[in-house]
Structure 1
Amino acid sequence: MTTVPIRSLTAVLDTGRTLLEPALRDAVDLHLGPEMSGIARYHFGWADAEGRPTGTWGGKMVRPTLALLSARAAGAEAAAGLPAAVAVELVHNFSLLHDDIMDGDETRRGRATAWTVFGVPSAILAGDALVTAATSVLMSAECAGARSATLALMTATQRMIDGQAADAEFERREDVTLAECVRMAGDKTGALLGSACALGADLLGAERHLVERLGAFGEHVGLAFQLVDDLLGIWGDPDQTGKQVGADLRVRKKSLPVVAALDAPGTDELHALYLRPEPLTEADVRRVTELVERAGGRDWARGEADRQIIAAKECLSAVDIPDDVRGEFQEVAGFVVGRRL
């Protein structure tokens, strides 16, 4: 029996980028009007604010790479999944354009964000245009599962929006439960990643069991990523995260470890400190960090991340796909989560 070698993560992502870039440029030019396509080209890094080509392109292309892998999981060449890869990347960048506005971020990938250059209304509309373009790309694909894939991506997009809305609402509430927080993270982070892992296979009309297991794999990976990200937001090394220790605590983020701790019994001091209106001092941040860990928030998040990773592996084990495709799914997912799967 011949063992097919698994390509390195760099090789997998580079292949995705090479296949995707011309198709993504074509989609932006075809489905967006002149003003919106100019903003999109700037946001993607292809052009400067005046529309002059830069010769560069930012982004890791994780989601479209997963979509291409899902086409291979269905027995096709990666290129057959290009409409799915383009569509999921358009939706992802819709979310980035809007996130930058909601968060007030002024830079992305070392450049001024689109809203600071073109204004908030134009950046919002450009994001909206990317979603409609994603729909057009999938619906115009001459594939057996074009309708199914379009519905699946739009459902994932709605879930992502619902997760973002819940996240914003949680900042105004003191009674957020752990179940609500897990559901929010699954929608905000897991929905689109799960869609990316299944979309290429769905587009090609693959059997439902394969599509569903690939989607579940991505959702588990997405939730594991959010758990790890939330842990880093409290206990991460500043040299690696680029943020202060306890950064999420300073802004009183309702992250998963914090909500797990707040849900635990005997945490009156944590409630009083974290939910009071006054700003936290540095001493308060250190105390809250200690209380969250003492209440089990850190251990719960670590354990839940491990459980999600195990569940993701089980989803891949439940489908008959080529070993090299399985291995490359695991390579990319391990990169997303920050550890090997």
Structure 2
Amino acid sequence: MSSGVAERADERTGPALIASSRAVVDPALRAAVDTLPGPIRLISGYHLGWWEPDGSECTAGAGKAIRPALALAAAEATGGDPAAAVPAAVAVELVHNFSLLHDDVMDGDATRRHRPTAWRVFGVNSAILAGDALLGLAMDIVADRPAAVRNLSRTVQDLLAGQAEDLAFEQRAEVTVAECATMAGQKTGALLGSACSLGALFGGAEPELIPAMQAFGNRLGLAFQHIDDLLGIWGDPALTGKPVHSDLSSRKKSLPVVAALASGTVWATRLRDIYSRSGPLNANDLALAASLVDLAGARRWSQEEADRLFTEAITELEQVCPGDTTGLAALATLITHRDH
């Protein structure tokens, strides 16, 4: 392989595409956040990893920025100009961070991206208001495209419905795998679907390609959630920024946990006993619970589901897109083969 060809191949890897997307999207994202009122701007910038609590610059790790990269890659895959999709990329990243600010409050998460969550630094009420501001800002950015506003509004409704179900599951003794998958499709899949469809829309794609991009992103989003749930149990805290077994500690009804509980095995019975205990779970309880999920076959099942969804998404992508799909394929690979 010539050095020129190798260099171009390197540029089409998932991490390289994330980096190039950041270079294009981050200035527009910062410009948008800079329009927010002072205190809200500070909280938002802190949450996004740009500033310390006093407003000084910092080098904290930012988010994965997968959704903006998907928006730009979707524009390219549907034959459009990725640069034209920057507003879509900014809007979906703002919606994503609106949801994270609220999720951290609802879940009581103490850390995100290896430092205290916004609500711990600025207070619950201020963090909620910052999330609300990011959502309003996202809608403002796409306001000149009625179809985009409808898409984003519908996505937010799906996301909220999924979050409501996720919270409700915590109070229920029994949750089916189908219910959990539907919840994950709403909570996570909808926004990845929106990133892809809005990227295509802003890139000038033919109308019939928009729902195809939405479907691609939805399927990829469910695969993303499977991997996220696996990392929530077995992820390395040094990479995820969350404590080991964090999802088990909060007794989260994640996809592998629900699959394990529904397995009808002796391991399911023991896991159900741990989840039904009152009071905090200690380190031994959490390690045992993780082992039981694995023994019940749910760890393998969740990984296989992620692989299946990835294959289906890529197959459909190659069938419908007229443009260069290597970017979307590389990002899909990154999403389903990540460690944080």
Q: TM-score if structure 2 supplies the norm length? A: 0.85
Q: Does 1:15 align with 2:20?
A: yes
Q: Against the structure 1 CA distance between its residues 288 and 25, is the aligned structure 2 distance closer, same or farther, given a 3 Å change threshold?
A: closer
Q: Against the structure 1 CA distance between its residues 10 and 244, is the aligned structure 2 distance closer, same or farther, given a 3 Å change threshold?
A: closer
Q: Write the distance in 2 (CA, Å) between the matches of 1:69 and 1:41.
A: 26
Q: Write the distance in 2 (CA, Å) between the matches of 1:190 and 1:309.
A: 13
Q: Write the distance in 1 (CA, Å) between the matches of 2:45 and 2:293.
A: 43
SS in 2 for 1:59: coil
Please say which of residues 268-277 and 98-107 is displaced more in the overlay. Answer: 268-277
What does residue 136 of structure 2 align with?
132
Q: Write the distance in 2 (CA, Å) between the matches of 1:54 and 1:244.
A: 23
Q: Against the structure 1 CA distance between its residues 244 and 63, is the aligned structure 2 distance closer, same or farther, given a 3 Å change threshold?
A: closer
> Out of 111, 122, 129, which is 1:118 matched to?
122
1:4-83 alignment, distance < 5 Å = 5-6=8-9, 7=11, 8-30=13-35, 32-54=36-58, 58-83=62-87
What does residue 143 of structure 1 align with?
none
Displacement of 1:131: 0.6
Q: Write the distance in 1 (CA, Å) between the matches of 2:301 and 2:61.
A: 38
Displacement of 1:288: 4.2
Q: Against the structure 1 CA distance between its residues 287 and 42, is the aligned structure 2 distance closer, same or farther, given a 3 Å change threshold?
A: closer
**Structure 1 contact 148–203 (Cα < 8 Å) conserved:** no
Between the two proteins, what is the percent identity of the paired residues? Answer: 49
Q: Against the structure 1 CA distance between its residues 173 and 73, is the aligned structure 2 distance closer, same or farther, given a 3 Å change threshold?
A: same
Q: Against the structure 1 CA distance between its residues 237 and 41, is the aligned structure 2 distance closer, same or farther, given a 3 Å change threshold?
A: closer
Higher relative CO (Cα under 8 Å, sequence separation at least 6) belongs to 2
What does residue 261 of structure 2 align with?
262
What's the Cα RMSD here? 2.9
Q: Does 1:103 align with 2:98?
A: no
Displacement of 1:204: 4.3
1:1-341 alignment, distance < 5 Å = 5-6=8-9, 7=11, 8-30=13-35, 32-54=36-58, 58-140=62-144, 146-236=145-235, 246-266=245-265, 267-277=268-278, 280=281, 284-285=285-286, 287-323=288-324, 326-338=325-337
Unpaired runs of 5+ in structure 2? Answer: none
Please say which of residues 272-281 and 149-158 is displaced more in the overlay. Answer: 272-281
Amino acid at match of 1:309: F
SS in 1 for 2:34: helix
SS in 2 for 1:50: coil
Q: Against the structure 1 CA distance between its residues 292 and 161, is the aligned structure 2 distance closer, same or farther, given a 3 Å change threshold?
A: same
SS in 2 for 1:200: helix
Displacement of 1:49: 2.8
Q: Write the distance in 2 (CA, Å) between the matches of 1:336 and 1:94.
A: 21
Amino acid at match of 2:327: E
Please say which of residues 100-109 and 303-312 is displaced more in the overlay. Answer: 100-109
Q: Write the distance in 1 (CA, Å) between the matches of 2:276 and 2:120.
A: 33
SS in 2 for 1:45: coil
**For 1:109-164, what per-residue CA distance to the aligned partner results, in whole angstroms no more than 9, with x for missing partners?**
34443223332212211110111111110013xxxxx1111211121122112212
**Structure 1 contact 224–308 (Cα < 8 Å) conserved:** yes
Amino acid at match of 1:274: Y
**Structure 1 contact 159–187 (Cα < 8 Å) conserved:** yes
Displacement of 1:91: 0.7
Q: Against the structure 1 CA distance between its residues 101 and 9, is the aligned structure 2 distance closer, same or farther, given a 3 Å change threshold?
A: same
Amino acid at match of 2:16: A
Please say which of residues 146-155 and 267-276 is displaced more in the overlay. Answer: 267-276
SS in 1 for 2:196: helix
Displacement of 1:199: 1.0
Q: Against the structure 1 CA distance between its residues 47 and 281, is the aligned structure 2 distance closer, same or farther, given a 3 Å change threshold?
A: closer
Displacement of 1:34: 3.1
Please say which of residues 35-44 and 274-283 is displaced more in the overlay. Answer: 274-283
**For 1:164-188, what per-residue CA distance to the aligned partner results, in whole angstroms no more than 9, with x for missing partners?**
2211111111021111111111111
Q: Write the distance in 2 (CA, Å) between the matches of 1:109 and 1:276.
A: 30
**Structure 1 contact 213–318 (Cα < 8 Å) conserved:** no
**Structure 1 contact 100–106 (Cα < 8 Å) conserved:** yes
Q: Write the distance in 1 (CA, Å) between the matches of 2:138 and 2:162.
A: 20
Please say which of residues 272-281 and 300-309 is displaced more in the overlay. Answer: 272-281
